[in-house]
Structure 1
């Protein structure tokens, strides 16, 4: 009897802990998305140039490393906002370039709507079905590395067809990452809401930019 009560108590504690991680993750994710949008708007208002590939990669991986190292300290949150704010700054010039094109605003709004629909649908599915998508971890990691290298190849060798293929690939990979990370939180695989937030933010950011690229290409604007 006591063993059963102890097991139930442990189960309830795990559920409460999972709910807390979920609540903190979605709260912080909402805040970082708003902050990223604000920095993107600031970048557009000031007409800042794009920092370039090397500086973007250095800033992204450097700040991501800082978040990972400081995820359990009081400096973890400032690092998260530094990372998402920086990504917003790099997004501003891209949005400005699209807005200068015919129907550019429509392409941006469609990409935003598509990103929101995909995120809400996949997150909702993972939360309601409570399926375990941990088996996708290795596949997603390999796919992201291949896609990243393919993207670099498309930039350096100026191959538009490869760039479009990589964008399509990232739409699928980031969709899978949303399912994977949400499931990871639900089943206790991820207990740090800072890292969960960063993972979901990166998925949303890459999903949006990939959709933007694909929609722009289909609209003949690239």
Structure 2
């Protein structure tokens, strides 16, 4: 999707778009949390965690990336607002499912780690969004850095799975920094470039970056509590 430039300024319509986008982000986070609570309270999480343990990680990651790509593309391209919401909802559910194994393990071996990681992620997200909003600096230059950084991360993850070596604490810290840059980049695009009728797609993009940060912050917290 080509992001529309909005160099002419920030009128009331733009501010309403920004507000809608961040409100939808908050709704997505709450929906993700509610789904996980339901999964764990009903025992579904334990069943799914046990089942997913036997699946190749590359298969899970590949399916997740495909769903994420399709949902993001749909949210950014379809004209129908209900279909945009359907794409956002599908992505939230996909994230909730992919998070089940790590949340299940964290709940078993590191009580309190989930709440700590969630708080750190929310505070970091608020801080980074605040920087983008208050400074009004255009961070679109981060796009190429994120593209190559993401490619390197995928190669490292792939090599780790193929050759059986562990990606340790420093990799997790690097991925938290990567996710932070993604949040800053997405927030900047929301403020400066996104078309004003695409607040659902914009919130999906930002939610994906927040979820990535939460994943690796949780891994760091778990490692520190070992």
TM bin, normalised by shorter chain, reads 0.7 to 0.9
Per-residue CA shift, 1:71-101, capped at 9, x if unaligned?
Answer: 3332111111111112112212321211111
**Shift of residue 62, structure 1, vs aligned partner:** 2.7
| Within-5 A mapping of 1:37-52 | 37-44=33-40, 45-46=43-44, 47-50=46-49, 51=52, 52=55
Which structure carries more relative contact order (alpha carbon 8 Å, separation 6+)? 2
Unmatched segments (≥5 aa) in structure 1: 1-9
Q: Is 1:39–1:89's contact at 8 Å kept on the other side of the alignment?
A: no
Q: Once structures 1 and 2 are overlaid, which stretch shifts more, 167-176 or 91-100? A: 91-100
Structure 2 Cα separation of the partners of residues 181 and 111 of structure 1: 21
Matched, 1:19 2:15: yes
**Shift of residue 169, structure 1, vs aligned partner:** 1.8
Matched, 1:93 2:89: no
Match of 1:178 among 175, 183, 188: 183
Q: Once structures 1 and 2 are overlaid, which stretch shifts more, 117-126 or 33-42? A: 33-42
**Shift of residue 70, structure 1, vs aligned partner:** 4.8
**Shift of residue 171, structure 1, vs aligned partner:** 0.5
**Shift of residue 190, structure 1, vs aligned partner:** 5.4
Structure 1 Cα separation of the partners of residues 125 and 151 of structure 2: 22
What secondary structure, in the 3-state scheme, does the structure 2 residue paired with 1:33 have? helix
Q: Is 1:150–1:166's contact at 8 Å kept on the other side of the alignment?
A: no
Judged with a 3 Å threshold, the aligned counterparts in structure 2 of structure 1 residues 26 and 85 are, in CA distance, closer, same or farther, namely: same
What secondary structure, in the 3-state scheme, does the structure 1 residue paired with 2:47 have? coil
Specify the alignment match of 1:148 in structure 2. Answer: 154
Q: Once structures 1 and 2 are overlaid, which stretch shifts more, 188-197 or 137-146? A: 188-197
Q: Is 2:113–2:218's contact at 8 Å kept on the other side of the alignment?
A: yes
**Shift of residue 163, structure 1, vs aligned partner:** 4.4
Q: Once structures 1 and 2 are overlaid, which stretch shifts more, 171-180 or 192-201? A: 192-201
Q: What do you get for the CA RMSD once the two structures are aligned?
A: 2.2
Judged with a 3 Å threshold, the aligned counterparts in structure 2 of structure 1 residues 70 and 33 are, in CA distance, closer, same or farther, namely: closer
Q: Is 2:60–2:98's contact at 8 Å kept on the other side of the alignment?
A: no
What secondary structure, in the 3-state scheme, does the structure 1 residue paired with 2:155 have? helix
Specify the alignment match of 2:132 in structure 1. Answer: 126
TM-score by length of 2: 0.82
Match of 1:196 among 198, 202, 211: 202
**Shift of residue 56, structure 1, vs aligned partner:** 4.3
| Within-5 A mapping of 1:62-101 | 62-71=67-76, 72-74=78-80, 75-101=83-109
Specify the alignment match of 2:24 in structure 1. Answer: 28
**Shift of residue 36, structure 1, vs aligned partner:** 1.2
Structure 1 Cα separation of the partners of residues 138 and 75 of structure 2: 28
Q: Is 1:181–1:199's contact at 8 Å kept on the other side of the alignment?
A: yes
**Shift of residue 122, structure 1, vs aligned partner:** 0.8
Q: Which has the larger radius of gyration?
A: 1
